[in-house]
Amino acid sequence: MGGCSPHQSQASQAVDRHTDALTLRVDDMTCGHCAGTIKKAIEAGLPGTTVEADPASKLVSIRGSTDLTLIKALVTEAGYTPTNA
C-alpha cells in the first residue's frame, strides 16, 4: 500500500512522454519502492506493457496498452491514487 517515507531516496529515472504512451500522475508515489510497486502491478496486470515510473515528477508512462480504465484500476489496487497527467 502507498505511504513510503520521503527519506527513502533512490535515483529516479526521467519519464519520457512518448506520443504512443499513456501518462498518469500519481501524487502519492513518493519513492523508488512506490514506483517499483506501480510498475510491477501494471506490467503483471497487462502483460506486454512497458512502464516507466518517476517518483520525482510523479509521472507514470505506459506503453503497450490503451486501456486507461484498467490501468487506473491496477494502480488503485496497488494502493495508489492515479489521475490524468
Q: What is the pLDDT of residue 85?
A: 80
Give residue 20's pLDDT: 77
Q: Give the pLDDT confidence of 23-82 residue by residue, as tens digits.
A: 999 999 999 999 999 999 999 999 999 999 999 999 999 999 999 999 999 999 999 999
User: Which domains occur in the chain, in start order?
Assistant: 22-84 (3.30.70.100)
Owner of C-alpha cell 506490467: 43
Distance of CA 40 to the CA centre of its chain: 9
Q: Look at residue 10 in the predicted model and tell me its pLDDT.
A: 39
Please give the sequence-ordered ranges of beta strands (E in DSSP) within the chain, or none if there are none. Answer: 22-26, 50-54, 59-63, 82-84
pTM: 0.79
Facing residues of 26 across strands?
82
What's the pLDDT at 83?
96
Cell, residue 47: 502483460
